[in-house]
Amino acid sequence: MAVFDTPQAAFGALRPVCVQLTRAQTVENVRQLQAHLAGVSGAALQELQEYVLFPLRFALRVPGPKQERLVQSLVQCISSVLAATCVKKQELLQELFSELCTCLAPPPSSGKAAPLSEELKLAVIQALHTLMHSAYGDVILSLYQPSTLPLLGFAVSLLLTLAEQEKAKQIKISALECLQVLVLQCDCQEHRHLDEDEAQQCGDLFASFLPGISIALSRVIAADIKQGHKPTVSAIRLFYLIVGLVMADKQLARIPKSKEKLPVEHSRISELMIHRGPDWTKSTAEKLSLLLHKVVESSSVHPHWKVRLELVELVHHLLRNCSQSLVDSFSHLLKALVGLVNDENSEVQSRCNKILQEIAEQRIVAQNRALVDVLSENLHSLSTALPRLMNSQDDTGKVSTLSLLLGYLKLLGPKINIVLNSVSHLQRLSKALVQVLELDVTDVKIVEARRSGPPGPLQQSVQKGRRQKKYFRFFTEEKVLQLLQQVCRVLGYYGNLYLLVDHFMGLYNESGLYRKQAAMILNELVTGAAGLGVDFLQAREVPLNVDDLKGSITSILDEYMDQANWYLVTGIDTEESSPEQSVQHSGRSVCAGGASSSVLLLSPEPPVTTRTMNSNIWQICIQLEGVGCFAAVLGKEFQLLLLSALYPVLEKAGDRTLLISETALGTLADICEACGYDSVQCLINENSDYLVNGISLHLRQLAYQARASQVLDTMLRHSDASLLPLIEDVIQDVLSALDQSYNSQASTFLRVLHSVMTALVQWFGMPSAEEHQTDKGQSGTRSQGQQEVTMTSQEVERFFLDYVSQKQIAEGDLPDLEEEEADEVPLAKPEPNSDMEGEAPMPSHAQVARDVMERCIHLLSDGSLRVRLKVLDVLELCVTVLHPHGNHLLPMAHRVWPALVTRLIGDDPLAVLRAFKVLCTLAQTCGDFLRQRFSKDVLPKLTSSLLSQAPVSARAGPVYSHTLAFKLQLAVLQGLGSLCERLDMGESDLNKVADACLIYLSAKQPVKLQEAAQSVFLHLMHVDPDSTWLLLNEVCCPEGYEPPHASLHPVKLSGMGRPRNEFTDNVLLLLQRLQQQEGTGPGTSTQEASPS
Amino acid sequence: MPQNQAAFCDNQGCVRSENGLIHVWNLKTHRVDTALDGHGRKSVYCVETMGGKERLLSQGRDQRICLWDLAEGRTSVTDSVFTEHVGFCRCSLLKVAQGRWLMAMAARSLEEVQILELPSKTSVCTLKPEVGAKLGMPMCLKLWQLSCGSQPVLLAGYEDGSVVLWNVSMGKVLSQLICHQEPVMSLDFDSEKAKGISGSSEKVLSIWSLNEQQNLQVYKTHELVNAGISDITIRPDKKILATAGWDHRIRIFGWKKLKPLAVLDYHTATVHCVSFSDHSKPQERLLAAGSKDQRISVWSIYAQT
């Protein structure tokens, strides 16, 4: 189809169609016109606009009923004309507007909307929409004069009805969009921006519609979800646009006091006009508040995120434009906004955050006292309800409640202090926090979990800043805790730190019920005050004063580390009497003595339940975490506080409760990081003067001894050899303290001594141990080498000679060997040792070891088994440390011997076992020095007891393995083998041992004893394979031996040819092992050797 | 080498000498702020502040008395006096005017005491006992004056156990009192009550008073459990006094009636000296004691009420 560019050409083309339409108003004609219109260019059509519109309008205006289809096509045609042209005349606009509206008007008789087809309605709405867009610049404003108010009102009510009552989604949306255009708030950019006066005028005008529009819209918004999200979104948008326009603070501020008088001819209309005075504003705001509440309620939980997003926009828009006029509604609006911060949809979330940020940045809240009031009121009611909500809601509910709380605080920002200064507000808030943070203290495991024994590896891998996971009574979700932390931090960030610290310290001291929570809150407050980990919307006005912070921290620390709060009962170990208990105990005894009274604080306590202990443990942990927090907050400044803080923390690091010691280690790591130390070790070494001072002071008071020793213990476990010179003094103090209280505190001090010795072994003991091992290794290979040489006659001869000389040595006949002599010296005359001592000064660690060993001698015969066991452990370590200093070790060994022998012979099997261990270590280091004593003092008794017990155990039933006698037997058998090997015993002693153990190879013995006896023989095989072989073969000989030469006697062993008996199995097993050990050669060599 | 220690407190620090080094301790951090080396690593047996903590006087076994300037972190010897005295007698300092001190010290010849004016180092007089008095070496000195501007007076304890009151301006003995059978180890004097106290290596503390005729009279003696007192100090408020004992203990007495108040048991060797700080708040005043066991103990004597 040709395109008509010029008006003339277009006119030529359109004229017949228009004439035709004027004559007969049929759908067909309208369609023809529309078809022709498509071929006319926009510019040309503009010229012909009125001409073309005329027949269409005429057709519409023809009185009488019309076909709906006709009307629809007419309206569509009009709208297509309008879409391509623009309306330049005011009259045309108004007429068209009213004509279009009339199309939808109901018959004058009925009050209901005309029962028109949906297509028609849609067409009219779209035509109106197009009309509004095609109106040219100022022309459109002519529609917004007081005189056109009825017309506008008519249109508005029409559209509202459509939006509200129509079923079709499309119509609803179009109607709402059309309305939006109608109130001059179209989204598109084409419109001219209204200047202030014009906007004011429109605001006046629209004020008349506000009630109708807002009510209708709120119904639309709150309508069934089934209508889909789009109408709701449009309705919300329209709602806030119109409210924002009419109730705009800027406009309201300019409203004159009294109503303007309009010219007389408009008097009727002027009645319709509304004066937006203060009274009107107030009442409207009240009504709107109700509506807004409804809107917020329904849309904040709307399932579609776009609706919620639009709600956010609503709050934003109103807050920006109407923060004064609608102040009462903001309690709902802000609640919605803050609540949506945690929306599941990320877009809503980010938008919310952005808006909150913007609000804070523009200081909308800060500058508006009324808003602060609203917020603080919200805060108040929320904190009142918080405990209940926390109790009843599920985790998601809790999260949203708390984020609401957090949002309020953040919005208040620096104005928080206004809230905090009100006693009731502060009290509510703090009580709520305290109640919500209540810990669950029913877990028994926490009380039970003990630090694994002190000798374990140094725990260097301490995680920094890791907090212990806490279990709360009212929630389990981690997110909830994070929110609560944020709440506290934000409080600390903005709030008056002195006030807050003072208040929560008050709670802390008020009742044991609040203590843990208050401490937790205090920790977070301080963290927040320093601005660490706070998520805030606007920076505070006054930067933090470091001195204030330091002052607060110091006072909190003092309180935390106060006796009554730091030393709590965390366990009721009966065995090693937990430090706290012993403190209590000794505290009483001290009080009886009338010396110290401060310890009394602890004594009169009701019986301690697991619950209280758990609670105490947590309290200590929280306080420890607090110390870590404070360190992190103060950084290097914390160094000054180390003087008072380091000691208690180390004390707790040595606590026996796992949780406490772990937390304390975490705290230490925090301190290291804060003060710039590379490791805990550095921290301890560099500050050892503080610690040593504390220890030496506390060691002087009985009640504190246990704790002081804990500190030393921890120091030792986390440091290295460089610490030794620093703590030598203190070790001496410990020893002298021990000297004064052997009875009561022995076990406490033994723990320290144990850790001292463990540390010494670790720091200084290693090289000697290695040396020793290589020594042994060499001798081992040497003996192997000797035996693996293939036998020649010379060698056989030499073997005999060796054998003879060995035998003589064993019998004590031939003491000429150098080695022997050297060993003999210390035995015969111990005096030369003291001379040696004078020559080479002992290294300090060896001195310590010697001093400790000295104490061990006294304590070896302590009444308590536990103490004796511990002493034996310590003794073993002492021996290891002293090993390289034989001149000192041997005299000490000499002195230890009698006490040790008593342990070996007549003590509990456990002690015997340990004593054996000590003996083995001693044997390793002292070697021959002990041989004779052992064979004289110990061996006879051991063998005889073994022999006498054997028949008992052989006969005994299964219960026997639980008896002491059994354990003793087992212990002896298990230890004897290695001992013989270590001590390099003589043949006669070995025979004794072998004889005693042989009966335990019987199958009648309990299996464990059999195994232990086997182990003895395995050791004996190492020492003297030949005689062992012979002995075993005497019992049972599996095979016969042919002499290699006729001149030799046939071998006759008493074990040959015996029937199978109780020993056979074990002996065969041992022989087999012997065979393996010796390889191929020894079998023949022994065979040749034995007959001699 | 014997470890000789002197200790005293001022508002912030505590000074201790050891191995010829003077350590200035910070009582807040409990760490050494500065170490002063001015006596050629010979042991220092007397340290005094000269009004405030900026100026310091120290006396060492190198027979020198050094004046230190510690202001603004300096650590320099401003002046020194060669005493030529070989004993252990500590010098005594008296402030007579702003920036002017009198110092009494044992002089070269055995029985003499010399009075110098500081900082000019001009000799004021030399106090020489009468020929044949046989007092022996001076063991301890205490310069004092009744009130500002009045005649300075010196109390000196001698080897033979006597305490002598000298008129410094006239160089004359005013009074002499034999308090002890053994050398006087230490003395202190309360000019308000005109009473003094001295200790020796015996088991007894001797309290004597000074009457209006400037005569020393034995007022009272106090029997001790263990013998040997190395230092006696009356607290500046004249309420209590502390003694440093050879029995490793510090004893606190009420000054008025010499009522025993406390035995401070901490050291493991002879206590050499005791000293009180003069903090403006009584609660924060401290007592420091130095001992042969290489430790200084700092005590808070006031009960916190």
Is residue A515 predicted with pLDDT exceeding 80? yes
Helix ranges restricted to H, A596-741: 610-634, 642-653, 658-675, 680-686, 688-698, 702-717, 724-740
pLDDT band at residue B253 under the 50/70/90 scheme: very high
Q: What is chain A's mean pLDDT, rounded?
A: 77
For A1003-1035, how does the pLDDT look when each residue is reduced to its tens digit (9 = 90+)? 888 888 888 888 888 888 888 888 888 888 877
CB contact under 8 A, B266 and A643: no
The alpha carbons of chain B give a radius of gyration, in whole angstroms, of 18
Residue of chain A nearest B265, judged by CA positions: A700
Among B residues 249-278, those touching chain A with beta carbons less than 8 Å apart: 265-266
Nearest-angstrom CA–CA distance, B183 and B26: 35
Nearest-angstrom CA–CA distance, A805 and A237: 114
Q: In what order do the strands lie in the sheet with B100-106?
A: B92-97, B100-106, B113-118, B122-127
Nearest-angstrom CA–CA distance, A161 and A470: 58
Give a yes or no: residue B223 inside a domain: no
CA distance B294 to chain A (A): 11
Give a yes or no: residue B68 inside a domain: yes
CA distance A990 to chain B (A): 53
Report, as an integer, the average pLDDT of A726-750. Answer: 80
B281 in contact with chain A, both atoms CB, cutoff 8 A: no
- B9-34 in b/e form (b: 16+ CB < 10 A) is bbeebbbbbbbbbbbbbebeeeeebb
Residue of chain B nearest A694, judged by CA positions: B30
A640 in contact with chain B, both atoms CB, cutoff 8 A: yes
Look at residue A823 in the predicted model and tell me its pLDDT.
45
- Chain A residues whose beta carbon lies within 8 Å of the beta carbon of residue B31: 689
Q: Which of A210-214, A468-472, A921-925 has the highest average model confidence (pLDDT)?
A: A210-214
Report, as an integer, the average pLDDT of B200-213. Answer: 88
pLDDT band at residue A100 under the 50/70/90 scheme: confident
Look at residue A1089 in the predicted model and tell me its pLDDT.
40
Report, as an integer, the average pLDDT of A31-40. Answer: 81
Collapsed DSSP state (helix, strand, coil) of residue A633: helix
For A640-699, how does the pLDDT look when each residue is reduced to its tens digit (9 = 90+)? 888 888 888 888 888 888 888 888 888 888 899 888 888 888 888 888 888 888 888 887
CB contact under 8 A, A689 and B29: no
Nearest-angstrom CA–CA distance, A579 and A727: 22
Look at residue A1088 in the predicted model and tell me its pLDDT.
41
B28 in contact with chain A, both atoms CB, cutoff 8 A: yes
Residues in chain A: 1092
- Chain B residues whose beta carbon lies within 8 Å of the beta carbon of residue A693: 30
CB contact under 8 A, A643 and B30: yes
Look at residue A825 in the predicted model and tell me its pLDDT.
41
Other C-beta atoms closer than 10 Å to the C-beta of A971 total 21
A51 in contact with chain B, both atoms CB, cutoff 8 A: no
A-B CB pairs within 8 A amount to 11
Collapsed DSSP state (helix, strand, coil) of residue B128: coil
For A950-1000, how does the pLDDT look when each residue is reduced to its tens digit (9 = 90+)? 888 888 787 888 887 888 788 888 878 888 887 778 888 888 888 888 888
Residue of chain B nearest A639, judged by CA positions: B29
Rounded to a whole number, what is the distance in angstroms from the first to the last CA of chain A? 137
Look at residue A521 in the predicted model and tell me its pLDDT.
92
B30 in contact with chain A, both atoms CB, cutoff 8 A: yes
Look at residue A270 in the predicted model and tell me its pLDDT.
67
B122 in contact with chain A, both atoms CB, cutoff 8 A: no
Cβ atoms of A85 and A49 within 8 Å: the answer is yes
Least confident piece of the model among A582-596, A857-871, B129-143: A582-596
Look at residue A575 in the predicted model and tell me its pLDDT.
39
**Does residue A1047 or residue B90 have the better pLDDT?**
B90
A644, A729, A735, A736: best to mutate for the B interface, most B CBs within 10 A:
A729
Cβ atoms of A465 and A433 within 8 Å: the answer is no
CA distance B28 to chain A (A): 8
Nearest-angstrom CA–CA distance, B52 and B35: 18
Look at residue A331 in the predicted model and tell me its pLDDT.
79
- Chain A residues whose beta carbon lies within 8 Å of the beta carbon of residue B12: none
Give a yes or no: residue B233 inside a domain: no
CB contact under 8 A, A689 and B31: yes
Collapsed DSSP state (helix, strand, coil) of residue A59: helix
CA distance A732 to chain B (A): 11
CB contact under 8 A, B29 and A643: yes
Least confident piece of the model among A339-343, A1025-1029, A1077-1081: A1077-1081
Give how far Cα A905 sits from Cα of A856, A925, A1000, A1020, Å: 18, 22, 19, 22
- Chain B residues whose beta carbon lies within 8 Å of the beta carbon of residue A692: none
Domain membership of residue B2 as a residue range: 1-82
A693 in contact with chain B, both atoms CB, cutoff 8 A: yes
CA distance B266 to chain A (A): 8
- Chain A residues whose beta carbon lies within 8 Å of the beta carbon of residue B291: none
Report, as an integer, the average pLDDT of A215-228. Answer: 83
Give a yes or no: residue B61 inside a domain: yes
Look at residue A1087 in the predicted model and tell me its pLDDT.
42
Give a yes or no: residue B74 inside a domain: yes
- Chain A residues whose beta carbon lies within 8 Å of the beta carbon of residue B265: 700
Look at residue A606 in the predicted model and tell me its pLDDT.
54
Residue of chain B nearest A640, judged by CA positions: B29
Look at residue B242 in the predicted model and tell me its pLDDT.
92
**Can you give the pTM of this predicted structure?**
0.71
User: Positive or negative CA dihedral for A521, A523, A528, A534?
Assistant: negative
Look at residue A705 in the predicted model and tell me its pLDDT.
76
∠ CA A202-A203-A206, nearest 5°, is: 85
For A396-412, how does the pLDDT look when each residue is reduced to its tens digit (9 = 90+)? 788 888 888 888 888 88
A728 in contact with chain B, both atoms CB, cutoff 8 A: no
Report, as an integer, the average pLDDT of B271-278. Answer: 85
For A595-619, how does the pLDDT look when each residue is reduced to its tens digit (9 = 90+)? 333 333 444 445 677 888 888 888 8
A637 in contact with chain B, both atoms CB, cutoff 8 A: no
B29, B263, B265, B297: best to mutate for the A interface, most A CBs within 10 A:
B29
Residue of chain B nearest A642, judged by CA positions: B29
Is residue B174 predicted with pLDDT exceeding 80? yes
Look at residue A699 in the predicted model and tell me its pLDDT.
79
HSE at residue A731, side-chain half, CA atoms within 13 A, is 28
- Chain B residues whose beta carbon lies within 8 Å of the beta carbon of residue A643: 28-30
Query: Taking Cα atoms as reference points, which of A855, A901, A893, A898 lies closest to residue A874?
Result: A855
**Does residue A118 or residue A190 have the better pLDDT?**
A118
Nearest-angstrom CA–CA distance, A985 and A934: 9
Is residue A874 predicted with pLDDT exceeding 80? yes
Domain assignments of chain A as residue spans, ordered by start: 194-255+273-368, 371-451+469-573+609-676, 930-1041+1054-1076
pLDDT band at residue A828 under the 50/70/90 scheme: very low
pLDDT band at residue A112 under the 50/70/90 scheme: low
Is residue A219 predicted with pLDDT exceeding 50? yes
Nearest-angstrom CA–CA distance, A325 and A347: 29
Residue of chain A nearest B264, judged by CA positions: A700
* Dihedral, CA of residue A77, residue A82, residue A87 and residue A91, to nearest 10: 30
Look at residue B232 in the predicted model and tell me its pLDDT.
92
ipTM value, please give it. 0.75
Label each residue of A209-230 as H, E or C. CHHHHHHHHHHHHHCCHHHCHH
Residue of chain A nearest B268, judged by CA positions: A733
- B263-294 in b/e form (b: 16+ CB < 10 A) is ebebbeebbbbbbbbeeeeeeebbbbbbbbbe
- Chain B residues whose beta carbon lies within 8 Å of the beta carbon of residue A690: 30
Report, as an integer, the average pLDDT of A625-629. Answer: 91
Helix ranges restricted to H, A561-635: 563-566, 579-593, 610-634
A554, A598, A686, A693: best to mutate for the B interface, most B CBs within 10 A:
A693
Q: Which residue has the tokens 């010494």?
A: A760
Give a yes or no: residue B14 inside a domain: yes
Residue of chain A nearest B293, judged by CA positions: A729
Label each residue of A187-199 as H, E or C. CCCCCCCCCHHHH
Helix ranges restricted to H, A764-828: 766-788, 793-811, 818-828
B303 in contact with chain A, both atoms CB, cutoff 8 A: no
Is residue A814 predicted with pLDDT exceeding 70? no
B248, B268, B291, B299: best to mutate for the A interface, most A CBs within 10 A:
B268
Report, as an integer, the average pLDDT of B195-223. Answer: 88
Report, as an integer, the average pLDDT of A570-581. Answer: 49
Cβ atoms of A632 and A674 within 8 Å: the answer is yes
Query: Taking Cα atoms as reference points, which of B108, B84, B103, B80 lies closest to residue B92?
Result: B103
Look at residue A729 in the predicted model and tell me its pLDDT.
81
For A344-387, how does the pLDDT look when each residue is reduced to its tens digit (9 = 90+)? 788 888 888 888 888 777 776 666 777 788 888 888 888 888 88
A566 in contact with chain B, both atoms CB, cutoff 8 A: no
Give one DSSP letter per residue of A85-102, joined into a string: S-B--HHHHHHHHHHHHH
Label each residue of A460-506 as H, E or C. CCCCCCCCCCCCECCCCCHHHHHHHHHHHHHHHHHCCHHHHHHHHHH
Look at residue B207 in the predicted model and tell me its pLDDT.
92
Is residue B164 predicted with pLDDT exceeding 50? yes
- A234-251 in b/e form (b: 16+ CB < 10 A) is bbbbbbbbbbbbbbbbeb
CA distance A671 to chain B (A): 17
Nearest-angstrom CA–CA distance, A93 and A951: 127
Q: How many domains does chain B have?
A: 1
B26, B30, B263, B293: best to mutate for the A interface, most A CBs within 10 A:
B30
Cβ atoms of A331 and A374 within 8 Å: the answer is yes
Report, as an integer, the average pLDDT of A170-193. Answer: 77
pLDDT band at residue A836 under the 50/70/90 scheme: very low
Look at residue A22 in the predicted model and tell me its pLDDT.
82
- Chain B residues whose beta carbon lies within 8 Å of the beta carbon of residue A646: none
Is residue A750 predicted with pLDDT exceeding 50? yes
Nearest-angstrom CA–CA distance, A1068 and A1070: 5
Nearest-angstrom CA–CA distance, B189 and A99: 120
Look at residue A113 in the predicted model and tell me its pLDDT.
53
Q: In what order do the strands lie in the sheet with B260-265?
A: B229-234, B240-245, B249-254, B260-265
pLDDT band at residue A522 under the 50/70/90 scheme: very high
* Backbone torsions φ then ψ of A701, nearest 5 degrees: -110, 125
- B37-61 in b/e form (b: 16+ CB < 10 A) is ebbeeebbbbbbbbeeeebbbbbbb
Share of chain A above pLDDT 90, in %: 3
Residues in chain B: 305
Look at residue B197 in the predicted model and tell me its pLDDT.
92
pLDDT band at residue A773 under the 50/70/90 scheme: very low
- Chain A residues whose beta carbon lies within 8 Å of the beta carbon of residue B248: none
Structure tokens at A344: 């599941």
∠ CA A883-A884-A887, nearest 5°, is: 85
Look at residue B251 in the predicted model and tell me its pLDDT.
92
Residue of chain B nearest A641, judged by CA positions: B29
Q: What is the CATH number of the domain that holds B9?
A: 2.40.10.480
CB contact under 8 A, A640 and B28: yes
Beta-bridged to residue B190, according to DSSP, are B195
Cβ atoms of A124 and A177 within 8 Å: the answer is no
Query: Taking Cα atoms as reference points, which of A407, A1024, A1003 lies closest to residue A1014?
Result: A1003
